[in-house]
Amino acid sequence: MTKLRELSGKNVLVTGGAGFIGSHLVDRLLAEGAAHVAVIDNMFLGSEENLLVAQTTGKLSFYKDDAEFASSLDYIFNRHTIDIVFNCATKALNYSFLNPANAFGTNVTVALNLLELQRRGAFKSLCHFSTSEVYGSAVYEPMDEKHPRNPTTTYAAGKAAADLAVESYVHMFGLDGFIVRPFNNYGPRQNHKGLLAGVIPITAWRILNNGMPEIHGDGQQSRDFIHVRDTVDAVVKLFRVLPAGESVNISTDNQVTIGDLVKRIAAILGYQGEIFRKPARAADVLCHYASNQKLHSLIDYSLTDFDTGLCETLDWYAQRLRPAP
Ligand SMILES: NC(=O)c1ccc[n+]([C@@H]2O[C@H](COP(=O)([O-])OP(=O)(O)OC[C@H]3O[C@@H](n4cnc5c(N)ncnc54)[C@H](O)[C@@H]3O)[C@@H](O)[C@H]2O)c1
């Protein structure tokens, strides 16, 4: 496939770049030879610790600011020449159960702010992060990129609206924008705190802090887990080749039920106690089985074996979350 875009020597902005996927992406962009990376993150869930490796390159500018304010983005664009934007900013899915309108609004507003800047020529290429959540529960499996978008949360509805915004701006104004759609990511740096934590870090945290791991419902809901390193590998490779206006799933063929996952984490961490059963969450998607046919037709990307990646991830959390003796 013809190379459409180049990262080496470019100036990049990553929204939400102090978060889980964004910070791994920042590290990879710098390793790929990006001249400079600016990050805007309001620290809703991000952490400056996630950017420590990137800081050592001297090629990172970090802005603790809100990409929902057009003026904050203007400030950054006035200070830096930006060629490329990766839009990772979001508020976690679980937040939409607490503050539905705000979770929706962030996903839409940040995308629109960026698209308006791009329409006025402020930067050339936009890689927008969507989510498998936009598909809702599977109408058919595996879910390919043509699967209907049936969001079941306001988080996913905001993401679906942002996807439509990217697609329509590309269509109307000929912008160079495309959409990557990761399935469930895991790996180091994913938030483990409070109600917004992902299932792997929160389960690890509970076990490491003498708590009881939890499963919502019967635990039969399944997800396609991909290591964050593999997602980032796919994103930088897709960046080079994916035509404007297109979207592509980023996934493995690794279906794991949440019940099985929690048991595997317990086994790896040597936990032999009980698992607490909680009622099923309304709007929890039952199954996310992705088609990655399109992805494979476009690129070769790295795929970490799930058990290896899970052990490595739990080791990372164990080093940080075990209480001091
Ligand atoms: N983690 C996953 O499993 C997964 C799966 C599919 C898609 N995605 C998508 O990938 C992207 C990154 O997700 P993540 O898992 O790294 O989430 P994350 O919460 O770790 O990172 C998002 C970052 O955005 C920041 N943020 C929130 N609102 C902001 C605002 N108004 N302005 C600036 N920054 C803001 C947060 O502080 C956080 O650091 C998101 O778009 C998400 O929808 C993630």
Q: Report yes or no on 6 lying in a domain.
A: no
* 148 and 206 part of one domain: no
For residues 57-74, average pLDDT? 98
Q: What's the pLDDT at 175?
A: 98
Other residues' Cβ atoms within 10 Å of the Cβ of residue 9: 11
- What's the whole-number average pLDDT of the chain? 95
Distance 278 CA to ligand 1 centre (A): 26
Encoded tokens for 167: 């697609």
Q: Report yes or no on 230 lying in a domain.
A: yes
Q: Is 20 in the pocket of ligand 1 (CB under 6 A)?
A: yes
Write the pLDDT tens digit of every residue in 273-301. Answer: 999 999 987 767 777 889 999 999 999 99
Residue nearest to atom 25 of ligand 1 (CA): 16
Where a domain ends, among 250, 266, 291? 250
Of 21, 43, 65, 199, best ligand 1 pocket probe by most atoms within 8 Å of the beta carbon: 21
Q: Report yes or no on 2 lying in a domain.
A: no
- 77: pLDDT confidence band, cut at 50, 70 and 90? very high
For residues 53-75, average pLDDT? 98
* 173 and 27 part of one domain: yes
Residue nearest to atom 12 of ligand 1 (CA): 88
* 143 and 216 part of one domain: no
Q: What's the pLDDT at 321?
A: 87
- 4: pLDDT confidence band, cut at 50, 70 and 90? confident
Q: Report yes or no on 5 lying in a domain.
A: no
- pLDDT over threshold 90, residue 18: yes
* 52 and 80 part of one domain: yes
Q: Is 110 in the pocket of ligand 1 (CB under 6 A)?
A: yes
- pLDDT over threshold 90, residue 138: no
Distance 18 CA to ligand 1 centre (A): 9
Q: Is 41 in the pocket of ligand 1 (CB under 6 A)?
A: yes
Distance 89 CA to ligand 1 centre (A): 4
Write the pLDDT tens digit of every residue in 216-266. Answer: 999 999 889 999 999 999 999 999 999 999 999 999 988 899 999 999 999
Write the pLDDT tens digit of every residue in 88-109. Answer: 999 999 999 999 999 999 999 9
Q: What's the pLDDT at 232?
A: 98
Q: Report yes or no on 1 lying in a domain.
A: no
* 85 and 151 part of one domain: yes
- pLDDT over threshold 80, residue 148: yes
* 125 and 230 part of one domain: yes
Q: What's the pLDDT at 323?
A: 76
* 242 and 114 part of one domain: yes
- 192: pLDDT confidence band, cut at 50, 70 and 90? very high
Range of the domain at 102: 11-184+226-250
Q: What's the pLDDT at 284?
A: 73
Q: What's the pLDDT at 287?
A: 77
Q: Report yes or no on 150 lying in a domain.
A: yes
* 245 and 122 part of one domain: yes
* 32 and 49 part of one domain: yes
Point out which residues pair with 84 in neighbouring strands: 12, 125
Q: What's the pLDDT at 325?
A: 72
Q: Which of 13-22, 182-191, 272-281 has the lowest mean pLDDT?
A: 272-281
Indicate yes or no: pTM above 0.85.
Answer: yes
Residue 302, domain CATH: 3.90.25.10
Residue 115, domain CATH: 3.40.50.720
Q: What's the pLDDT at 102?
A: 98
For residues 206-225, average pLDDT? 93
* 55 and 173 part of one domain: yes
**Number of domains the chain contains:** 2
* 310 and 214 part of one domain: yes
Q: What's the pLDDT at 96?
A: 96
* 172 and 233 part of one domain: yes
Q: Is 249 in the pocket of ligand 1 (CB under 6 A)?
A: no
Q: What's the pLDDT at 137?
A: 83
